[in-house]
Amino acid sequence: AHRKAKMAERRLRLAIDAMPQGVVFLDPDGRYILWNQRYSEIYTKSADLFVPGARMQDTLRIGVERGDYPEAAGREEEWIAERLAKMQNPGEPHEQVLSDGRWIMIEERRLEDGSIIGLRVDVTEMKAKEESFRLLFQNNPIPMFLYDEETNRIAAANDSACEHYGYRAADLLGMPIQELHAADTMRLGATSPRHGPQDGSWKHRKADGSQIEVAVYSRSMMHEGRPSILLAAIDITERRRSEARLVHMARHDALTNLPNRVLFRERVEAILKRDSEAPFAILLFDLDEFKGVNDTLGHSIGDKLLQHVARRIQQCLPQGALAARLGGDEFAIILDRPDVEEVVTPLVERIVQDVRLPFDIEGHQILIGASVGISVAPRDGSDPDRLLKNADLALYAAKGRGRGVHQFFEPSMDRHLQERRNLEFELRGAISRGELCVHYQPLVTLETGKIAGCEALVRWTHPKRGQIPPGVFIPVAEDTGLIAAIGQFVLRQACQDAVLWPSEAKVAVNLSPIQFKSCNVLETVLQALAASGLPPHRLELEITEALLLEKDSSVLSTLNSLRALGVGLSMDDFGTGYSSLSYLRNFPFTKIKIDQSFVRDLRASANSQAIVQAILSLGASFGMKVIAEGVEHAEDAAYLSALGCQEGQGYYFSKPKPAAEIFPEAYQGQAVARGGAAVTPINDSAERIRTDGVKPPLDRRSARA
């Protein structure tokens, strides 16, 4: 029997030694009976005390005295008593820390005979993990919740969660997780984050009832022995707001907050997609003379004006209308309603009328008008590009008719555009084919009737279409950049011709503002002078105010350099633009050309007379010569002369013609003038300029014809 008992004990020992946990058996008095290898390893420090028959409470006491149990420090007796009590009435497992920092989980059971079986597990590693999780959880700046997967109640919430949601930690503990959800997330039926919104973005509710949008991340984990869910909630309310702001900004104009071109187009596309036969109108608005406001009063007033205009337009909008700012001073309206044909005209008239009322901006009374082009679908097109283009063509036509005009698209406008394209195409080769030439119109000294010089005016003889007026092709050349080559050609030709003329005769050449932008005017002029040998003081350049509108200091410095060379500068078409006195003061002009419109009705209109007189006295006080354009009648020449105007130009004296017809002596022996200009033989003395004062015009007949 003894052998049998020995065998059993050995088998038991083998069995418990094979267990991964530490195992100990105590008799009902708490004396050691048996323990396994692992048990001794766990308590390395106290292993010497484990002797069969020794009482655990004694080994505990020795261990406490030696400081093996840091938790007992300072309350030794109490600790021992608690420990023994746990052993007498075993319940939940508990943990114990040893002096080497390891954590041991203790589980004890009292068996029927009163003996005790104890299990020990080294949980140091798990504790470390738990601790690092605790730190990660508690100190995380992202609000985090841990809740029980079965009860859905919150088991832990970190500081950030409490702070962000505005709860005290105690309020959150035990609270059903669903209570965080805002109403509409609840309505989705999504009570568990497992079944939340597809994109993981939830609406949560804070303690104060306010709503936030959160991106939720969750994962399952064990927490204190229970399956739980860790939930991190990142507040993306602000991000969403700024995303929404960005989306808004991409489709709206920052200045007026009206929809921009992108949104405008999208709307047009949406209407067409809905019904490709839908009747709707596109109205394009362009402010008249807005550039002038910007240039004279500054951009900040210009911006405010645009905002005011936007508001006025919006106030006029009926149902089914959307206003947009397409850029600059360009506004647009989509009028989308079945009765569009009836309402569009009254609407345009109302807006044009409203915009025309004075604006009061920072003490400035500003008057501005709007021109409008209109295209109506499906009549004028059934795709956005065509409708916009046709509205634009109509706008262009409206502008051509004057200010404050509205114009519906007409198919002929498209033909005009087509013609313009053809013109551009043909103009490209015109110089090299020798189709361009330069004619000259005398500038006559009124007092003596002598030719003071000539204005060079470009002429285009198209092989099939004949003469094409510069008023038609110069704008095309300006739009396409061809003006650079044309301008250079005219300048060279004019200098070459003028060299042949009597030395007192100047030559005036028109320069387009575009030339100042796209090419080096100074260099071109220098080259033309050098190539011809013309003295700079015999060259005069005519420029219009459009050039000076650009607040560009390089223009001023170019003009100053030209002036320093001795080249004369005329302000062309004076009186039609801003006629700004500051231009006369700030730019080195030597001559003012009174626009022909004032000369034309000089005798009929007292206003024109007043303007002409004003310009003359301006010229006198600035020390500039004044020349009147468009003099067609002897009476006008006499009147201007009497007022003190030095020079005149017009059909009364001579139409523009080839140089050889004006200065035949200079071209004697040259059968054909350069530049392809065909010279008609001059045999009629009446075709020659008179040099004996302002008397019968030489080509009066043709002027009258």
The footprint of Mg ion (CB under 5 A) covers 510, 542, 572-573, 629
Q: How far is the CB of 573 from ligand C2E (least distance, A)?
A: 5
- Helix, strand, coil percent values for the chain (each to nearest 5): 45, 25, 30
State whether residue 198 is helix, strand or coil. coil
CA dihedral 401, 403, 407, 412 (to 10 degrees): 30
Q: Which of residues 572-631 bind ligand C2E (CB under 6 A)?
A: 572-573, 596, 629-631
Q: From ligand C2E, Mg ion, none, which one binds at residue 437 (CB under 5 to 8 Å depending on kind)?
A: none
Among 259, 470, 619, 675, binds ligand C2E (CB under 6 A): 470
Rounded CA-CA distance 24/7 in Å is 19
d(CA 33, CA 45): 19
Among 286, 380, 632, 636, binds ligand C2E (CB under 6 A): 632
List the structure tokens of 307: 């905002």
Partner residues linked to 222 by β-bridges? 227
110 to 149: interface string for ligand C2E, x by CB under 6 A? ----------------------------------------
Report the nearest approach of Mg ion to the CB of residue 704 (Å).
21
From Mg ion, ligand C2E, none, which one binds at residue 375 (CB under 5 to 8 Å depending on kind)? none
Q: Which residue is nearest to ligand C2E (CB)?
A: 650
510 binds ligand C2E, rule: CB under 6 A: yes
In angstroms, what is the minimal distance from the CB of 477 to Mg ion?
15
Taking the C-alpha atoms of residue 143 and residue 427, their distance in angstroms, rounded to an integer, is 72
| Beta carbon of residue 334, minimum distance to ligand C2E (angstroms, whole number) | 39
Residue 63 interacting with ligand C2E (CB under 6 A)? no
Residue with tokens 């959800």: 181
225 binds, among Mg ion, ligand C2E, none (CB under 5 to 8 A by kind): none
Closer by beta carbon to ligand C2E, 379 or else 655: 655
474 binds, among Mg ion, ligand C2E, none (CB under 5 to 8 A by kind): ligand C2E
Counting contacts by CB under 6 A, is residue 468 touching ligand C2E?
A: no
Write down how long the chain is: 705
233 membership: H or E segment, kind and range: strand 226-235
Q: Contact between 490 and ligand C2E (CB under 6 A)?
A: yes
Local structure of 127: helix, strand or coil? helix
User: Which of Mg ion, ligand C2E, none sits in contact with 453, Cβ below 5 to 8 A by type?
Assistant: none
Q: Report the residue number, 177 or 474, with the smaller CB distance to Mg ion.
A: 474
651 binds, among Mg ion, ligand C2E, none (CB under 5 to 8 A by kind): ligand C2E
Rama region for 347: left / alpha / beta (φ>0; ψ in -120 to 50; rest): alpha
Spell 6-24 as b/e; 16+ CB within 10 A means b.
eeeeeeeeeebeeeebbbb
Residue with Cβ nearer ligand C2E (68 or 478): 478
459 CB-near residues (< 8 Å, 6+ apart): 436, 437, 438, 439, 467, 470, 656, 677
545 contacts ligand C2E (rule: CB under 6 A): no
Phi, psi of 87, rounded to the nearest 5 degrees: -70, -35
Positive or negative CA dihedral for 163, 164, 166, 171? negative
Q: Which is nearer to ligand C2E, 405 or 569 (CB)?
A: 569
Answer yes or no whether residue 471 interacts with ligand C2E by CB under 6 A.
yes
What does 656 interact with, of ligand C2E, Mg ion, none (CB < 5 to 8 A by kind)? ligand C2E
SS3 letters across 57-107: HHHHHHHHHHCCCHHHCCCHHHHHHHHHHHHHCCCCCEEEECCCCCEEEEE
Region of 298-306, 416-424, 453-461, 667-675 interacting with ligand C2E (CB under 6 A):
453-461
For the bound state, the minimum distance from the C-beta of residue 478 to ligand C2E, rounded and expressed in Å, comes to 8
Give the footprint of ligand C2E on this chain (CB under 6 A). Answer: 441, 456-458, 469-471, 474, 487, 490, 510-512, 542, 572-573, 596, 629-632, 649-651, 656
